[in-house]
Structure 1
Amino acid sequence: MTHEHDHDCGCGIDDGRRRFLGGCGAAIAFAAAGTTVGSVAAETSGDIETLFADLPTNWDRWGDDDELGALNLLGSEEMFAGMRAATKRGAKRIERFSLQLSMTGEVINPDPDQPEVVFPNGAVDWPSTDTGDPAFPPRTPARRTNTTPTGGSPLAGGMAFVDDKFVTSAFLQGTTHLDALGHAWYGDEIYNGYPASSTEETKTFETTLLGTDGRDALPDNGDPEELVPVSETQGLGKAAVSAPAESGLFGRAVLLDVGRHLDVADENDRLPLGYGITIDDLQATAEAQGTDIRERDLLVIRTGAVERTRDPGAEWAPLNEPGIVFSEELVEWVAELDIPYIGADNLAVEKVVQVIDGDTYVIPLHGAFLRNLGVYLNEILWLEDLAAACAEDGIYEFLLTGAPLNVERASGAPINPVAVKATER
């Protein structure tokens, strides 16, 4: 199978693809709500089960009850390889970089005439040069406020404190986050053959709390939501984010700065909107950098996409970002190298809409990696500072460590990966 390398592809998603990925609710809901981003005239939709029929899986590799997936590959030797990469220039030449994007609560709105509207109705003129927090529609940025009185809350003895909480919906995948293996699937099974129904298991709580109703950023009826009692919730009974949260992420990682090493990039080393990154692009970048990709390495891919959301002079479109694209060769390469994790500075790691052999697919690599191989995807990374340091000293390997928030039964959770890198500076 080959990918149709169409860099001018739009990114609307029609409602006829509901069966494609059971976990692709955000994209489908965004389309069903009548909001479009660009246009993808999707007259045909491919069969993903046929597409993946002859490709490798890791089901039962670590037992039929495994929920951790490819992070099982990160043991003592892999952790040591990460530490060696971080310390290879000695004790006084080590730098650290947080790869988490800050949360500002600012909405990126494509319609400057309707700044108060989250998702303007009708035709929307993407891309946008507005700045704010990137979020996969219909997720929205989270906002917090103080819960203590003005001046803080005084305590006996003279101490005072201030406290805060989120006062809008805080989507667990609305900022830098790690996808759980049960986040996306096709057919009737998620990772390791667990039934898709396990993603909607109900938990009942002894104590009722007040919360807001509604599944997405906007209520179904368009009216403000009222507080409602919450005594039960639905969530992942298997392959939830608690598994990687409890194990943590720790190993040798390599940055593939595709934006800096492909001649299609702009003057800021950012790939153009809609660009599909092929396995040839990844391997050519590694060769240009002099980077050795080893078995069980963690892959971090820079496109420059998220940087656009903080630059008022750059255009950005949420469903038309550059990203990696499916090919049999790519999936087999990741499987053969036992890559347990792929992170990128965009919303989906992969290009959201892809045309493969003339058929249209939405986030197919989520099926190949999360569901079939148990390979984790880390989205919305901030890579500008790390990439600049790597380009300056030529060292593209580092220790990568972090753990997502341990939110029981969640399909993903915020994570702050930290790169610890040797340097010549």
Structure 2
Amino acid sequence: MKFTLFLFILLLALFACQDDDKVFDIEVPNDFVRAEAVPGGAMVYYNLPAKSDVFAINFRYKDCRGNDVLKVGDYGSDSLLLDGFNEHQTGVPVFVSLVNRQNLESDPFHLMIDTKDSAPYSFFDKADVSSSWGGFQLIYDTPEQVSGMVHIFYLGTNPHTQQIDTILMKSSPIVKGGDTLLFALQQDRAVNTVVVRTEDHRGFRVKQQIWEDVEAYFSEKLDTSNLKFIDVHNLSVENDEDKSGIKYLFDGDTKGEQRLKSGKGELVHTFLAGPGATGKPFIIDMKKERVPAKIRFYNILNNNMLRVKGLQYQTGLPQSPLGGIWLSHYEDKIPCEVTVYGGHSDDPKGEWTKIGSFSEDRTTSQNERWAARCTSVSYSYETLTALQEADPAYIEIIFPAFPITYRYIKFVVEEVFLQPYYNQNPVDYNPSKYVTIHELEVYTKKD
């Protein structure tokens, strides 16, 4: 019994000695750690002592929800993000301690940090919901450091309950630098209520805002009777024999059916302009002030009429009056860069507002071009049925959904594609800068 009591006292002494060993004493420089406020928290910068038993550094604090947070840094870095905050705060206490290789901590010292509004919290400072074609759009900007998610809803009819409900349109990470999100609604609603919510990286809701009475714009194709084409510099190649001219821009043929039906490749039934047509304005008179919605530029789909002398040339017209212009090439006259303007006068040098544009590198590989199905040998529509069943190929330039009217639309074909054939490098077989457009459609806001 006496031996047992002696052993118990000895063990207590040993434990007492071990407790003394748990005190990790180290002299800490005053400037070895500093903090800088960032969105959603603070970035701490530290400089661990080089000659010591220090293995790591611990930062303990409470986040915006009162949860205890531990962040650990080591020699692998000299900074650490203390996050978990939404609204800007000042003087948040942080307890900092050093850790040795036996995982013993030093006595903590206090660090006070400031934080900035997080991206999910400040999201609504630079966010706006406005009208769009067939629905609405959300435009937002963000700080350099982002985190969290944004969820976009609108009030619509729940298809399961047939009751008014919040319909989720999209959930997306908040993007650095901001974004523009367009939403076309399947439900035909002229006016909408839009709900936008944000959440942090842990899935907690941060903020919500509601936009009411957001008008959805709907477009319709303008009848050709309401369009007048103005060839400012008289560049249109008007040729009745080969069927080229302005009238073919508005004849309703978007794929090249008339050319295929004719059985003669030289009867193009299309619009050709030049020389020097790139960089020159063409104007469309809509005959009254309208809200423009979009414009489409079509080109002929590849069909068996493109075959010349057994070779897969494009629009071969060697025997036609225009053969010297086409030179068996079609692709190098197709627009690859277009700029569109709106105006209130048909003066080409007057006051115009840029409302849209399209751009694709003129050296883009043939199968990657918007007009691939017009020229690439990978596509061929050799029968009328195949051509009719195919989707047309076109450039579509959609204009902003603003309640601003214009009477005139001016477009400029800035550049055309390069012909990729015959050499490894693209060759410019169209130095005279001819331009071809097969069909042109203008869409405006539905009254």
The answer to whether the superposition gives a TM-score over 0.5 is no
The structure with the greater share of residues assigned to helix is: 1
TM-score for the superposition, normalised by structure 1 = 0.24
TM-score normalised according to structure 2 size: 0.23
Larger radius of gyration: 2
